[in-house]
Amino acid sequence: MRRGGGGPSVAAMGIATDIASDWHAALAALAWQHELGVEDVVLDAPLNRYQLPEPAKTAPPPVPVAMGAAPAPRAPSRPNVAPVETPPPAADAVAEARQFAARATTLDSLRDALAAFDLCDLKKGARNLVFADGNPEARVLILGEAPGRDEDMEGLPFVGRAGMLLDRMFAAIGLSRHSPDSEAALYITNVMPWRPPGNRDPEPAEIAMMRPFVARHIELADPEVIVVMGNTPLVALTGERGILRARGNWTTALNKPLLPMTHPAYLLRNPAAKREAWADLLTLQARLKGQR
């Protein structure tokens, strides 16, 4: 038997240390999942809460009634059904986006219009609005898909590993987002200005919602050539999918020449495809030199 001293036992201290360690481990795991874009906790299988059995109800104990007294009247029974609220009609997000975009007369006012547009749910989970980077006077506008983690943190498009590869690719044909000369400059933007959770592909409704802003962006920047990188911008401007089939083949969108190319992130995963990307870059260079 322990004598004297009111401090905790060694066993109790060990339990407290384990609890603190588990708490910090759980907090670190939660922060890591948040960085990956996990925002909702779901079960392994769908759960329809409308089909759950109602909990059994326990009848209240009977109230003793005095001899000769009439029983108290019972209140009429009412079904245990929650009132049904009719949701308000959903706003036409695409029509609203057209109005917001049409009011913009400069690139700065278009950025403000995007910042004020609240009908895209991606905005709620993003850190920053990713608008554009580079020289707005550039002959070439590059249209990407959506911001990733690095882009969301910095508020600029193509700043992660894929962005560094993009810079090296276009530097090989004498083009740079940092060039003050419009002849050698790039202007870069994305279809989606906010990061999708978990870096998932944008949904068709999200692409349609952002298309009026993209069209107005291109109209205000007025590039000579558009380069779309990946399926999302290809769908946004042409309505077609299949970037591997479309890459390298010139087409037209918004009354401008358009060249589809594979996204730099795809090239990082498939280095053998860099040879085709180089051929596409040479095609772009020839076009800018008036050889096509």
Encode pLDDT of 14-43 as tens digits: 555 555 567 677 777 666 666 656 655 566
Would you tell me which CATH number, out of the four given (3.40.50.620, 3.40.470.10, 3.30.420.590, 1.10.357.10), belongs to the domain 93-288? 3.40.470.10
Q: In the predicted model, is pLDDT for residue 279 greater than 90?
A: yes
Encode pLDDT of 121-139 as tens digits: 999 999 999 999 999 999 9
Domain boundaries defined on the chain: 93-288
Q: In the predicted model, is pLDDT for residue 257 greater than 50?
A: yes
The DSSP string of the chain is ---S--SPPHHHHHHHHHHHHHHHHHHHHHHHHHHTT------SS---GGGSPPPPPPPPPPPP--TTPPPPPPPPP----PPPPPPPPPP-HHHHHHHHHHH--SHHHHHHHHHH----THHHH-SS---EEE-TT-SEEEEES---HHHHHHTSSS-SHHHHHHHHHHHTTT-BTT-SSGGGBEEEEES-SSPPGGGPPPPHHHHHHHHHHHHHHHHHH--SEEEEESHHHHHHHHS---HHHHTT--EEETTEEEEEE--HHHHHH-GGGHHHHHHHHHHHHHHHTT--
pLDDT reported for residue 3: 45
Encode pLDDT of 168-190 as tens digits: 999 999 999 999 999 999 999 99
